[in-house]
Amino acid sequence: MSQDGTKGLLDRVLPAHPRLPLWLKLAYTGFLAILVPVYWRDYGPTNFLYFCDVALFFTLAALWLESPLLASAPLIGIFLPQMLWVADFFAELAGGHLTGLTRYMFDDKYPLFTRTLSFFHCWLPFFLVGLVWRLGYDRRAFALWTVCAWVLMGVCYVAMPPPTTTPLWDTQPININYVHGFSSREPQQWLPADWYFALLIVANPLFIFWPSHLLFGWLFTKTAASPSGAWAASM
């Protein structure tokens, strides 16, 4: 492709009047440029099937394209679970116990630098709130994230390792997105596996994505911090 052709393509894809500063886009891109190879080395590529990791890439695209849809979708998908992560982390830090969700952050079998990178669970949901405040909330986010989550859960249920006490390596991702229950050592026992998975398919959109969709749709319906003061046309 010629230089003029490449420039024309970028002009069509990238926003003509950026609402987000270049330094922010570059800083976030730099963070991912460090995190991705480190996670790949320590956890393996399947770790990127977690909802929170997928949200990282949605956020990258949302930043560069300044897309309300690509910022809104991961926000409703991870906000409530990440609030639980934050609460659990500080409970563990204080010597207590809430769910055990963040116990790995205090486990020496995980490299310290890798665990430090995992602090994105704390700041990413608030970062997404800021992006959506800046770009606007796109109400198509619920449908987009629900379909994305269903695909991810299906892949994890069918093709990824279930809970086990003998992973192939110490930091192998298992029971990704909790499609076999909430234990990493053994599957849940209170329902047949397929019934539990079907329940999860319904429960995630109903009890996690939809409440967040209602909340952020209400919060960001009439205010957008853009140069024109107008929301995206989809609003």
Q: Give the model confidence (pLDDT) of 64-116 as tens digits.
A: 999 999 999 999 999 999 999 999 999 999 998 888 899 999 999 999 999 99
Provide the residue ranges of all domains of the chain, joining segments of one domain with +.
21-219
Q: Which amino acid is at 212?
A: S
| pLDDT bucket at 14, cuts 50 / 70 / 90 | low
Q: Higher model confidence: residue 96 or residue 6?
A: 96
Residue with tokens 């982390």: 89
- Interval 184-226: pLDDT, tens: 889 999 999 999 999 999 999 999 999 999 999 999 974 444 4
N-to-C CA span, the chain: 36
Question: How far apart (Å, rounded) are the C-alpha atoms in residues 193 and 180?
Answer: 7
Q: Higher model confidence: residue 180 or residue 9?
A: 180
- 3 state SS of 85: helix
Q: Which amino acid is at 113?
A: F
pTM above 0.95, yes or no: no
> What are 96's two structure tokens?
């207590």
